Structure 1
Amino acid sequence: MNRFAKIVGFLLVTGGVFLSCNSTKNIVAPTAQSEALEALIAKKSFTIESDWMYPLMTTGMNAIYNSGLIPPGSTVNSINLTGNPNFVRIYGDSISMNLPFYGERQLPGQYIRNEGGIVFQGVPDRYEVIKDEKKQTHLIKFTAKGDQESYRVTITLFPNWTTSININSSHRTSIRYRGVVSENDKEKSLVVN
């Protein structure tokens, strides 16, 4: 029994050492690029432009794909946004969003002419920024309430200035966007749309 206890103890200590060594591999050291991104987020003056949209795979989306309404180079669950103007712009406490939307409406509502996408302009509710020190990523979460619809938005900003935006809507299927972040031009920060 004594020998068994020593073997178990040795295995536990060895396993602990391996686990602690493995966890240090996942830590990303800050770089000039990631520090510049952190300063940009603290300043609250940046724009995200998405180049890909990832709608939820549904029967309705398959029907749209089969009818040929998806842009060239895209698939039913991965749509290229090249040439399609879109943005999420943060300037101070205000946010302006204008993102295209492919997906299904879950609750009846009124479409506003020329606004079939996700559109919001104003001050969001519950805005928070969370930094992951290990990965040097930033998570921005907020809720936005429009006239007919509300959105829960989660933006992940990576140290190489790429982004992932997840949007859950009160009236539509969820959707994700991938893009890049850039500093606001002085003119763009004054103009909301």
Structure 2
Amino acid sequence: MKHITAAILLVLTLIGCKSNLNSAEVAQQKQQLEQIAVKIKQDDFQIVMNTAYPLATNAVTNVLNGILIPNGDSANRIDLSDRDDYIELGNKSVKGELSYFGERRISSGYGNQDTGIEFNGIPTNYTQYIDYKKGLVRVEYQISNQAESFDITIEIFTNRKANINVSSSHRSNIRYTGVMEQIKELPL
């Protein structure tokens, strides 16, 4: 009876434990990550946002729930599929236009109608590296516009899905998810 119990435990342990990637899968993942890292530097790829996750304080939650619930969104998760939110990638120049939901902590002046996050220029403190263990390419940089500065962290996975964290000098933090794709040129 002890041998049967031990055998059953051994089988359950082997079934329950997911094996690590085999060497062919590791090599394929490494190649995919290296291709993504090269494409990021080419300046013709962007991340199109599909969801925003604002830092939900009580004030933000109360306001956003009153506005967003009829649309099916909540203060913690906002669908951006009907918007054109994006970040253009590159190490020489970056551009971004993102909807913003959250608290603005410092005013950027009277009459400023800019409610979203917008930047366009040369990033500072730009770093890009491949984390083979986590299976992602991480890009970090700082960028400023006329009113505020942003710390941007982008994590792109082998399936080209991305997590984007934006930390602002004037606003509460916000996180986005999106998909990396090639920038499409408009027909003339």
Report the TM-score when normalising by structure 2.
0.78
Within-5 A mapping of 1:6-155: 25=20, 29=26, 30-31=28-29, 33-69=32-68, 72-91=71-90, 93-110=92-109, 112-113=112-113, 115-155=114-154
Distance 1:166 1:186 in 2: 27
Aligned-residue CA RMSD (Å): 2.5
Does structure 2 retain, via aligned residues, the 8 Å contact 1:143–1:151?
yes
**Secondary structure in structure 2 of the residue aligned to 1:67:** helix
Residue 183 of structure 1 deviates from its aligned partner by 1.6
Query: What secondary structure sits across from 1:37 in the alignment?
Result: helix
- 1:172 match: 171
Task: Report if aligned partners of 2:33, 2:130 keep a CA contact under 8 Å in 1.
Answer: no
- 5+ long unaligned stretches in structure 1: 1-21, 189-193
Inter-CA distance 70–170: structure 2 relative to 1 (3 Å threshold): farther
Distance 2:70 2:97 in 1: 19
* Contact kept in structure 1, 2:88 and 2:94, CA below 8 Å: yes
Unaligned stretches of 5+ residues in structure 2:
1-16
TM (normalized to structure 1)?
0.76
Mean CA deviation greater in 163-172 or 28-37 = 28-37
Residue-pair matches, total:
165
Structure 2 CA distance for aligned equivalents of residues 42 and 62 of structure 1: 38
**Structure 1 residue 39, shift from structure 2 partner:** 2.9
The 10-residue stretch of structure 1 (179-188 or 144-153) with the greater mean CA deviation from structure 2:
179-188
User: What is the alpha-carbon distance in structure 1 between the residues aligned to residue 37 and residue 20 of structure 2?
Assistant: 22
| Alpha carbons of structure 1 residues 139 and 126: separation in structure 2 relative to 1, 3 Å | same
Q: Contact 1:26/1:134 (CA < 8 Å) preserved in 2?
A: no
How far 1:184 moved relative to its partner? 2.3
Q: Match of 2:134, SS?
A: coil
Q: In 2 relative to 1, CA 58–91 (structure 1 residues): closer, same or farther, beyond 3 Å? A: same
Deviation (angstroms), 1:51: 0.4
Which one-letter code corresponds to 2:55 in the other structure?
L
- Superposed displacement of residue 34, structure 1: 3.9
Contact 2:68–2:74 (8 Å) recurs in 1:
no
> Alpha-carbon deviation of 1:65?
2.7
Q: Per the alignment, in what secondary structure is the counterpart of residue 41 of structure 1?
A: helix
Alpha-carbon offset, residue 68 of structure 1: 2.4
Instruction: Output the CA distance in 1 between the equivalents of 2:126 and 2:70.
Output: 34
1:92 Cα offset (Å): 5.6
